[in-house]
């Protein structure tokens, strides 16, 4: 395959009329330019330049090759301009994957601010739970992930992450429950309850928190819809652990109460990027970190 750098050196020799002038334009030494021309001629198998007095001209073969050199140079210049536009966020794309309650409460405002600041960047959002979101990031289908972790399900070790804050879990009970009036509920007192739980990380967290309190929870209902979970609780069908963010993301549901547990428990919200994150993802990550 023809060396592109040598082809572009041939182009500069043609433009400037000598190896010395081409060397100055390229900020190379004249022997380096001569070396690359000889190597290109060996690859071509025929002379590409000839001397006419003090001027170096191209042979017919060199002239034919020059047309390709001009096309390559133009393409490289277009690529350079494209890189600058992406780096300056004049164009690009930002594909975000984030969990439901974050999408409903925190994400809209910074996302709108980013869209106003960088109107040329195409924005996409996929609402999904943390583990599927991380797979989207690893496969290149997402540029940035907002997920959550806790002691039972730690953040990914193979991706750079940045903490965005903590979200407290609360026990959600029917209003008529005997423990509903307490300021704090001992987790162990809920051992005989039917439980309502959600995504895999939420269920893992519930099981771990319950086991630390000395029991295995009876998970009778599984739903990732936290509004549905609250309505089931309001009908007296069970209890749940939900976070403050999930409660803030839903309309007020009559007939339920939210009470802290002892021991208290939290999930940690994090932002994850690939190691070679695109400029748009880096810019939005910075906006999230400084804005929260």
Contact 194, 239 (CB under 8 A): yes
Nearest CA to 259 out of 177, 150, 162, 183 is that of 183
- State the CATH number of the domain containing residue 39: 1.10.10.10
Q: Report pLDDT digits (tens) over 58-98.
A: 787 777 777 776 676 667 666 666 555 555 677 788 999 99
Same domain (yes/no): 81, 225: no
Q: How confident is the model at residue 33 (pLDDT cuts 50, 70, 90)?
A: confident
Its sign, for the CA torsion 189, 195, 198, 203, is: positive
Q: Which domain holds residue 173?
A: 165-267
The structure tokens listed for 162 are 């940045």
Same domain (yes/no): 147, 278: yes
**Residue found under tokens 């939900």:** 242
Q: What secondary structure does DSSP assign to 73-99, as a single string?
A: HHHHHHHHHHHHHHHTTSSEEEEEEE-
**Residue found under tokens 């739903």:** 223
- State the CATH number of the domain containing residue 99: 3.40.190.10
pLDDT higher at 242 or 70:
242
Same domain (yes/no): 122, 193: no
**Least confident piece of the model among 19-28, 173-182, 188-197:** 19-28
Instruction: Report the pLDDT value the prediction gives residue 8, as an integer from 0 to 100.
Output: 78
Task: Report the number of distinct structural domains present in the chain.
Answer: 3
pLDDT higher at 68 or 227:
227
Contact 208, 235 (CB under 8 A): no
- State the CATH number of the domain containing residue 181: 3.40.190.290
Mean pLDDT of the chain: 88
The structure tokens listed for 65 are 């090759």
Calculated CA dihedral for residues 26, 28, 31, 32, nearest 10 degrees: -90
Same domain (yes/no): 138, 12: no
């Amino acid at each position: 395959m023809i060396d592109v750098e040598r082809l572009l050196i041939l182009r500069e020799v043609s433009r400037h009329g000598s190896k010395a002038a081409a060397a100055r334009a390229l900020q190379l030494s004249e022997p380096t330019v001569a070396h690359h021309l000889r190597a290109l001629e060996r690859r071509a198998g025929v002379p590409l330049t000839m001397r006419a007095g003090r001027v170096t001209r191209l042979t017919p073969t060199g002239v034919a090759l020059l047309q390709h050199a001009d096309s390559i140079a133009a393409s490289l210049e277009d690529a350079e301009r494209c890189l600058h536009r992406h780096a300056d966020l004049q164009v690009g794309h930002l594909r975000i994957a984030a969990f439901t309650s974050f999408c409903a409460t925190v994400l809209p405002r910074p996302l709108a601010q980013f869209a106003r600041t960088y109107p040329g960047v195409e924005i996409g959002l996929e609402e999904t739970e943390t583990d599927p979101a991380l797979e989207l990031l690893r496969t290149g289908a997402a540029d940035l992930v907002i997920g959550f972790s806790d002691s039972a399900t730690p953040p990914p070790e193979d991706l750079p992450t940045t903490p965005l804050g903590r979200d407290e879990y609360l026990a959600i009970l029917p209003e008529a429950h005997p423990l509903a009036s307490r300021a704090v509920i001992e987790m162990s007192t809920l051992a005989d309850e039917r439980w309502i739980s959600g995504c895999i990380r939420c269920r893992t967290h519930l099981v771990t928190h319950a086991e630390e309190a000395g029991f295995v929870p009876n998970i009778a209902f599984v739903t990732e819809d936290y509004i549905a979970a609250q309505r089931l609780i309001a009908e007296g069908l069970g209890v749940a652990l939900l976070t403050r963010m999930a409660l803030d993301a839903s309309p007020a549901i009559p007939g339920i109460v939210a009470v802290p547990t002892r021991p208290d428990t939290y999930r940690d919200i994090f932002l994850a990027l690939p190691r070679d994150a695109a400029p748009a993802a880096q810019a939005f990550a910075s906006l999230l970190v400084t804005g929260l």
